[in-house]
Amino acid sequence: MSAQYAFSSNEKYLFSIEVESYNPNKQLSIVNSNGGTPRYHFPANGNKGVLVVMISFDDVNKLQNGYDWVKGIHKGYYEVRSDLEA
């Protein structure tokens, strides 16, 4: 009997979510209620920030389509942080 591997839309990955109108308490609460697990957050220039969360592709797409404060989604953490600090 061989093992079968299938893609699970519920599998969570690490994402960096760029936000404008940085309000981490409210935004991470929304992420949590939409299937994500908050990991970290930090402010960027002006009223921008980044939320780092574990979340599925389906749920992160729902966030991006449902909330205007989501300005960008990046898989992983270090790439977006180095871009914002440059």
pLDDT 10s digits, 3-55 = 444 445 678 889 999 999 999 999 999 999 999 999 999 998 889 999 999 99
Q: What's the pLDDT score for residue 81?
A: 55
For residues 64 and 78, the model is more confident at 64
- How far apart are the C-alpha atoms of 56 and 62, rounded to whole Å? 10
Q: Domain 13-85 carries which CATH code?
A: 3.30.70.260
For residues 40 and 76, the model is more confident at 40
